[in-house]
Amino acid sequence: MIPLVILLVTFVLALVSIKIITQQYHFKLAASIAMSVMLVFTGTAHFVYTKGMALMVPKVIPLKTTVVYLTGVLEIVLAVTLVIPKTRMFAGCILIIFLIVLLPANIVAAANSVDYRLGTSSGPGWSYLWFRIPLQLFFILWAYGSTQMYR
């Protein structure tokens, strides 16, 4: 829920700031900035909540902690490349693939009731997916809309 709030609040702030500076609304730029800020937040979380996020990695994947660190770095790199015009579309495509690949981790988290912040099995369980899957789809659509419209 926090990433969604960060995305939406940053979008509004970026949109208003851009309007004040340029005297025009630039929805696509504000959307890219918002996604970038959210990705920095979620990427940083991989280093703060490593133990809990490692519990979300499917059992068939080895080196879970390394995977958590690498995906955190990837999110931060994507955040930077989303605001660079020459790399925005490529970053958007990689981000969409990344968000799709994350779905199994969310299913594992739900199946094992993972609370990634505490690193325990005291999370919400399957009910988590009722929010997370539509949220993941929303993030995918946001990434597509904010990067593909720059053509």
pLDDT of residue 149: 55
Task: Output DSSP code: residue 122.
Answer: -
Average confidence score pLDDT of the chain: 94
pLDDT of residue 74: 98
How confident is the model over 33-52, as pLDDT tens digits? Answer: 999 999 999 999 999 999 99
Count of domains in the chain?
Answer: 1
Per-residue pLDDT averaged across 120-129, rounded? Answer: 89
Beta bridge partners of 115: 120
- Name which residue leads in pLDDT, 146 or 54: 54
CA distance linking residue 67 with residue 64, whole number of Å:
5
Whether residue 34 contacts residue 7, with contact meaning beta carbons closer than 8 Å, is answered with yes
Tell me if residue 99 falls in helix, strand or coil.
helix
pLDDT of residue 147: 83
HEC secondary structure over 41-64? HHHHHHHHCHHHHHCCCCCCCCCH
Residue range(s) defining the domain that contains residue 73: 2-148
Q: What is the pTM of this model?
A: 0.92
Residue type, position 22, single letter: T
Per DSSP, the residues of 79-106 read HHHHTSTTTHHHHHHHHHHHHHHTHHHH
How confident is the model over 50-76, as pLDDT tens digits? Answer: 999 999 999 999 999 999 999 999 999
